[in-house]
Amino acid sequence: MKIKYLTKDPNWVDRVEKLGYGYHTEDNTPYWIDHYYYSISEQVVDQIYQATQELWQMCLEAVDHVITHKKYHLFHIPNFIHHHIEKSWENDVPSIYGRFDFAYDSKNKQLKMLEFNADTPTSLFESGVVQWYWKEHFFGNEKDQFNSVHDQLIHSWKELKPYLKGNKLHFSCIKESLEDLTNVEYLRDTAIQAGISTQLIYVDDIGWNGQSFVDLEDENITSIFKLYPWEWLVNEEFGVHITNDITEAQWIEPSWKMILSNKAILGILWELYPNHPLLLKSYFDTPKEMASYVKKPLLSREGANVSFVYNGRTIYETKGEYGEEGYIYQELAQLHRESSGYSIIGSWIIGQEPCGINFRESDYPVTTDKSRFIPHIIE
């Protein structure tokens, strides 16, 4: 696994914007990297595929464990939503996707799960579309990618279609983020291609009529994909209505994903699968015997409020607004490093199937919203 450079395409901005990719650059710094890529082997692809499949099964076991033993307090999940979570789990409410983030120790050729973005993962559009067109532009059919994200999304929506409630699936995100809107519209695009009737509604336009959630035409919302975190939804004014809703709208991702998207799951996984080669040691509330570790807030997003401790000394920390909810202490992982920066691997699971990857690169050993997206090629 190594970085390879290409001759820069002076028209790359036009090329990616024609695909509908508008957030390729932030503050004059490219987020999308066009002129270098990760060259990876078939063996690494196999390793990521198998790790993703295995971890997904372990995560499902962990959700079942948390629900069975009612360990919600470890996740700081409000009481009123517990029953909703249990019902969504028992009824197998549709889930479409998630993204595991892996550290790759090149020396020992070992993947380690850093976390699971189970509720609101993005970079889906650049993974499934922009990265694919980038491959076509530079390599055509001569090279391959671990990237069937697009096919798998359409396939998964087709499989979920009979289980969707009502005859229209709403898609929702916040108004202020082009990245979120693009990701949601991409998901909606694939749902339409799967034959599903859809409608976009921004999160703050969702209405409550005293009985049900409604769209802007005052029609009941029966099923809705939301790119908006569960922990935000349940703590907002309408949160309590999720359990009052007589329509019992189907929320995608389902509420049981609150368990997987919370970093407390890292501690649960370590309790259930101690010393598993794909896991990093993770403890609640204290680092225990670890001298080098990462301290992560349970609900932190985009690498906020993360502290790196090496041999008992804090060597790096990020700012943010999280931490009141408690922390998880995770063993320090060995990140893959190149001259261009530190990288992690995002591995997509869509409709129960590992189907694609992306690389995110940072100047520091923590992935944030500023981390660069690096395409890849199997060769």
Partner 1 sequence: MKKRSSKAVQLILITSVLASCSKPVSKAENDGKQQVFMRADSTAQYTNVTQQYDQQRSGSGMGSAFLWYMAFRHLGGGMGYASSGLKPQSVVGTNTAKANAYQQATRGGFGSTAKSTNARASS
Does position 142 interact with partner 1 (CB under 8 A)? The reply is no
Please choose, from the candidates 5, 9, 26, the residue with its C-alpha nearest in 3D space to the C-alpha of residue 18: 9
CA distance 73 to 117: 20
Binding test (CB under 8 A) with partner 1, winner from 40, 129, 252, 333: 129
Contact flag: residue 185 with partner 1 (CB under 8 A): yes
Q: Is 90 in the site for partner 1 (CB under 8 A)?
A: no
Which one, 231 or 361, has the nearer CB to partner 1?
231
Say whether residue 273 binds partner 1 (CB under 8 A): no
Q: Rounded to whole angstroms, how far apart are CA atoms 192 and 214? A: 21
151 contributes a contact to partner 1 by CB under 8 A: yes
Give the integer Cα–Cα distance in Å for 297 and 76: 12
Residue 165 makes contact with partner 1 by CB under 8 A: no
* 71 interacts with partner 1 by CB under 8 A: no
Residue 61 CA from chain centroid, whole number = 19
CA 1 to chain centre: 23
Nearer of residues 143 and 276 to partner 1, judged by Cβ? 143
Give residue for tokens 């690169």: 361
Beta bridge partners of 40: 378
Find the binder of partner 1 among 263, 301, 360, 372 (CB under 8 A): 301
| Angle, CA of 180, 183 and 187, to the nearest 5° | 135
Part of the chain binding partner 1 (CB under 8 A), chosen from 64-72, 197-205, 274-282, 332-340: 197-205
CA angle 47, 50, 52 (to 5 degrees): 105
Distance CA 231, CA 298 (A): 11
Minimum distance between the CB of residue 278 and partner 1, rounded to whole angstroms?
A: 18
Query: Residues binding partner 1: what is the number (CB under 8 A)?
Result: 81
Binding of partner 1 by 202 (CB under 8 A): yes
Q: Does 224 bind partner 1 (CB under 8 A)?
A: no
In single-letter form, the type of residue at position 108 comes to N
Tokens 């080098």, residue located: 292
181 binds partner 1 (CB under 8 A): yes
Of positions 11, 22, 78, 363, contacts partner 1 by CB under 8 A = 22
If one asks whether residue 178 binds partner 1 (CB under 8 A), the answer comes out as yes
Q: Given candidates 1, 6, 19, 272, which one binds partner 1 under the rule CB under 8 A?
A: 19
Q: Which of 7, 217, 313, 339 binds partner 1 (CB under 8 A)?
A: 217
Q: Tell me which residues in 307-366 interact with partner 1 (CB under 8 A).
A: 320-321, 353-355
Binding mask 30-69 for partner 1 (x = CB under 8 A): ---------------xx--x--------------------
Q: What is the C-alpha to C-alpha distance for residues 88 and 303, in angstroms, rounded to an integer?
A: 29
Pick the stretch among 55-63, 160-168, 195-203, 332-340 that binds partner 1 (CB under 8 A): 195-203
Q: Does 126 bind partner 1 (CB under 8 A)?
A: no
268 exposed, middle or buried (CB, 10 Å; 0-12, 13-18, 19+)? buried
Element (H, E) at 378: strand 376-378
Element (H, E) at 250: strand 250-252
- Which of the stretches 64-72, 207-215, 277-285, 336-344 binds partner 1 when contact is defined by CB under 8 A? 207-215
